[in-house]
Amino acid sequence: MWIDTHCHLDAAEFNADRDAVVARARAAGVTQIVIPAVDAHNLDTVRLLAIQHDFTYALGIHPLCVMGAAAGDLEKLAEAVETHHADPRLVAVGEIGLDYFVEGIDPDTQQHFYIEQLKLAKRAGLPVLLHVRRSADKLLAGLRRVGFTQGGIAHAFNGSEQQAQAFIELGFKLGFGGTLTFERSLQIRRIAASVPDTALVMETDAPDIPPQWLYKTAEQREASPGQTRNESAELPRIGESLAELRGWTLEQTAAITSANARAALPRLG
């Protein structure tokens, strides 16, 4: 059985058929999904979805959302984490982190939100779901600066082998998803093949990061908008790529990555 450690089930792309999306995931063998918040406006949404569908959730403010955040949003997040701290479905603070790929997001603002949310997670004794995009070194520096020891998941990991090892040494698992399915993703596939067995977790980042069989070129997307949506039901097929890279059976891949997810996020049980 599979655990999707990162799926934005609350996204608008799922509004028309969310129940069917969940049913397809379960039919494919995905027994648990972690639904991360991205801003102060969807903290309740992800929690209620997790309750409705018997999944789990994380609370946080995404780095791509910090420029639109209100002055009191960190306080709202802290209040939500405190209010729901005893909820076993709350497995992490996230999605938080840094993004130096998208232009127009003030780096100082990103750093402020990242560090404050790390401090919040440290106080709450919760792991974190980290957004890593051209930011691994600064994320690692922040973890060391705060003295963060609860670990978590470096979501959609795309750094170097040295950065991967640094995250692992700080108690983090590395999240792998649709990017694994592209033969040209040489570095990511090499890291997925070489890190310790205990370092790997599976994710979709649905509706984003579609695997190779769902990917469309820019021209195809323009001609058929809305046809590239990823979903949790794709996770076992994505897992086949990891199985091939590691020399595992599909059953081993599901068992190992699910055990790693539970180690990273102890409230998964």
Give the SS3 label for residue 78: helix
| pLDDT classification of 73: cutoffs 50, 70, 90 | very high
**pLDDT, tens digit, for every residue of 9-31?**
999 999 999 999 999 999 999 99
Question: To the nearest whole percent, how much of the chain has pLDDT over 90?
Answer: 94
Lowest mean pLDDT among 88-92, 131-135, 208-212, 219-223: 219-223
What are 124-127's contacts with CB under 8 Å, separation 24+? 124/81, 124/82, 124/85, 124/93, 125/150, 126/81, 126/90, 126/91, 126/92, 126/93, 126/150, 127/91, 127/92, 127/93, 127/151, 127/152, 127/153, 127/264, 127/265, 127/266
Tell me the residue length of the chain. Answer: 269
For residue 269, the model assigns a pLDDT of 78
Segment 115-126, tens digit of pLDDT: 999 999 999 999
Measure the CA–CA gap between 249 and 237, rounded to whole angstroms.
Answer: 12
Residue 253 per-residue DSSP state: H
Q: What is the pLDDT of residue 220?
A: 61
pLDDT score, position 215: 79
Q: What is the mean pLDDT of the chain?
A: 96
Compute the average pLDDT of residues 195-218. Answer: 92
pLDDT band at 151 (very low <50, low <70, confident <90, very high): very high
What the block records as the tokens of 24 is 């397809």
Total-model pTM: 0.96
* Among candidate residues 207, 195, 126, the one with its CA nearest the CA of residue 166: 195
Kindly indicate the confidence band of residue 225, based on its pLDDT and cuts at 50, 70 and 90: low
The pLDDT confidence band at residue 223, using thresholds 50, 70 and 90, is low
